[in-house]
Structure formats: structure tokens, C-alpha cells
Amino acid sequence: MKQVRITVMRMANYRDLIEKYENPIPHPCDMKEGQIFVVQGDQKPEGLCDSAWETLRPFALALARGEGDFYGGWMKNPMSALLSCNDGFRPVSFLLEATEEEVGRP
């Protein structure tokens, strides 16, 4: 299996929706733009939120197995995917890329 790199590309914040619909929560998202996670096998990378992992996991596992070209040419690099978590108040966009490194090898 290939390693898959997940990079936080962009973070949105819809204040109007937050103020109108969301109950206050202390730490809604601890991601930082430019932050990188590496998927080893099928395990959620440490520090990546559970909700984001549920969205990213099927794509990360497919890339790790050497699959790609999602939705028939959607991405310029067929061994990548740009996805967002399912937080409607503050969605985070992630770039997933298969690397040349194998899991468990440097």
C-alpha cells in the first residue's frame, strides 16, 4: 500500500450560519492551513478529526491501493482528490495525494 498525504488547503468560516444556527462549542476545529497528515494503512492519522476522516477515508484507502482517477478525470493528477469535511459551518478543504512511499518503508 502507498502512503497518502493529506494537506489542509483551505478553511472557511460561515459566521452568519454559525450565529444563526450553531450552539457555541469550545474547539470546533483545530486544523491549520498547510498542516499535513500521513495515512499509514487504514488508520486515521493522529490529530485529524473523526468527522473529516469519515469523509476522506474511502478516497485515502483507494489511493493507498493504487486506485485513482475518481469520477472520470475530475483531478489533473489522477492519484489525488480535493475534498471537504462535512462541517457546514466551517468546512475544511483537504488535498489527498498518493506518494511513492510504501507503508512501513522510508
CB atoms within 10 A of CB 17: 12
DSSP-assigned letters across all residues of 29-91: ----TT-EEEE-TTSPPTTS-HHHHHHHHHHHHHHHTT---TTTT-SSSTTEEEEE-S-SSS-
* Domain locations in the chain as residue ranges: 2-102
pTM score over 0.75? yes
> What are the phi and psi torsion angles at 13 (to 5°)?
-150, 110
How do residues 44-103 score in pLDDT, each as one tens digit?
Answer: 999 999 999 999 999 999 999 999 999 998 999 999 999 999 999 999 999 999 998 776
